[in-house]
Structure 1
Amino acid sequence: MSFTQDIRDAFSRRDNALNQLIILNGLVFVVLVVLRAVLHIAQSDATYELIRRQLELSSSIPVLLRHPWTLLTYALVHEGFLHIIFNMLNLYWFGQLIREYLGDRRLVSLYILGALAGAAFFLLAYNLLPVFRAGIGLPVIGASAAVTAIIVAAATLLPDYTFMLILLGPVKIKWIALVVVLISIAGLNGGNPGGEVTHLGGALLGFLFVRQLKAGRDMGRPVVAVGDWLGNLFSRQPAMKVTHRATVPAGRASAAKASTPAATPAEEVDTILDKISRSGYESLSKEEKQKLFRASQQ
């Protein structure tokens, strides 16, 4: 199977959002690396800078108005291998938790909303706060705002979930999220204040996303609606089929229903809890974890 076929297969699956986000970031990174090398050999570095400016987010409002798509594209562009590796590892580790408990659609919504929140904080800081105004026109790139949103959302959702860290051993993710936020605050007077500001915007969004979700309000619903609209716009509607079903006598149908009673939500939760007591939490399937989370909201 070819490399391109592997990518097509990854994007054809609907339950593969985490891998799709990682692959998309990786593809953009590889394309830009190759393009930069080719243009450098051709002694056309200025062309590469022009292309990258079409993707990075500028703190200048007039530039943003000419490139509105950069509110999202900046979150797919990385500078250097360590930059993308660090972001993608965090996206993978914490994104798995969001995907297991909240599903693929909410993971994508959280990524997009985190990027937008980071962009909003970046633009507000550089255009309203005097300490940043000297940097008007500076750009920002990277998925850090979106990834920070996912880290803080996972910590808000499962504060006592434990990761095994090298040299440190077991650490609850609420402390990992706290350290990430504190590092961003400390970096505001460092060499990359714009990037740190976007992290804080993503962190706030991740916290609010889960808190609102627990209150019964899904902040990601507009993102899902736009995604569905775009999906319907670019996909063909299947032709309607007319099928004939054999009719079942009313008495026999009611008897069949009576013979297979549906489990109530309370019974399903009890079954899941029994499974945890027998085999541990990690034995649960993705659907069982999502049912358990939904039951905890009621």
Structure 2
Amino acid sequence: MIGLYFFGQSIAELFGPKFLLMLYLGGALSGSIFFLIDRAFLGPSNRSYRGWDNSRVPALGASAAVNAVILLEVFLFPKRLIYLYMLIPVPAALMGAAFIATDLWRVHQGRDHVSGAAHLGGAFVAALVWARVRRRI
């Protein structure tokens, strides 16, 4: 949620609070859809424990929605410096690539308590929104 606080302010200043709310809800919805698709098709093949059916694991959280907000900021301003742990300056593009690569790895592994598929759903919404608004900046 700290990501929503810092990156959401910038998005709200650029496009307004209604836009931020729609982006957030779109990221949440897309994250839920990606999670369900992952569990329906990939979950049964990635059993992490004997007898445990991953397709029946529920999801709870707002990380896909927050991921959409953070990655839209990254897509809009890839050269902006973001301070990792408030100490290390990192270009936004590098941080965004690390976010997406980590989520792809989570989906590939299939045995994580964090849904990489849901995060990728948020990234998908951020990419779609970026494609529509990039000329306005």
> With structure 1 as the length reference, what TM-score do the two structures score?
0.40
Aligned counterpart in structure 1 of residue 88 of structure 2, from 163, 169, 173: 169
Matching residue of 2:22: 109
SS of equivalent to 1:139: coil
- Give the number of aligned pairs: 129
Q: Percent identity?
A: 34
- Would the aligned equivalents of 1:185 and 1:196 in 2 still touch at CA under 8 Å? yes
Matching residue of 2:4: 91
Aligned mates of 2:26, 2:56 — CA distance in 1: 23
Matching residue of 1:131: 45
Aligned counterpart in structure 2 of residue 184 of structure 1, from 103, 123, 130: 103
CA drift at 1:118: 0.5
Aligned mates of 1:212, 1:201 — CA distance in 2: 17
Alignment of 1:1-298 (within 5 A): 88-129=1-42, 130-132=44-46, 134-166=53-85, 168-188=87-107, 189=109, 190-192=111-113, 195-214=115-134, 294=136, 296=137
CA drift at 1:172: 1.8
> With structure 2 as the length reference, what TM-score do the two structures score?
0.82
Q: Residues 107-144 of structure 1: CA distance to partner in whole angstroms, max 9, x if unpaired?
A: 10110000000011111121233525831221001110
> Residues 167 and 136 from structure 1, CA distance in 2 versus in 1: closer, same or farther, beyond 3 angstroms?
closer
Q: Residues 266-293 of structure 1: CA distance to partner in whole angstroms, max 9, x if unpaired?
A: xxxxxxxxxxxxxxxxxxxxxxxxxxxx
Aligned mates of 1:106, 1:143 — CA distance in 2: 17
Aligned mates of 1:112, 1:167 — CA distance in 2: 28
- Would the aligned equivalents of 1:110 and 1:146 in 2 still touch at CA under 8 Å? yes
Q: Which runs of 4+ in 1 moved over 4 A?
A: none
Aligned mates of 1:155, 1:208 — CA distance in 2: 13
Q: Which amino acid aligns with 1:207?
A: A
- Would the aligned equivalents of 1:126 and 1:132 in 2 still touch at CA under 8 Å? no
Q: Higher mean Cα deviation, 160-169 or 118-127?
A: 160-169
Q: Flag the structure with larger Rg.
A: 1
Aligned mates of 2:80, 2:14 — CA distance in 1: 12
Aligned mates of 1:175, 1:99 — CA distance in 2: 23
Q: Residues 21-80 of structure 1: CA distance to partner in whole angstroms, max 9, x if unpaired?
A: xxxxxxxxxxxxxxxxxxxxxxxxxxxxxxxxxxxxxxxxxxxxxxxxxxxxxxxxxxxx
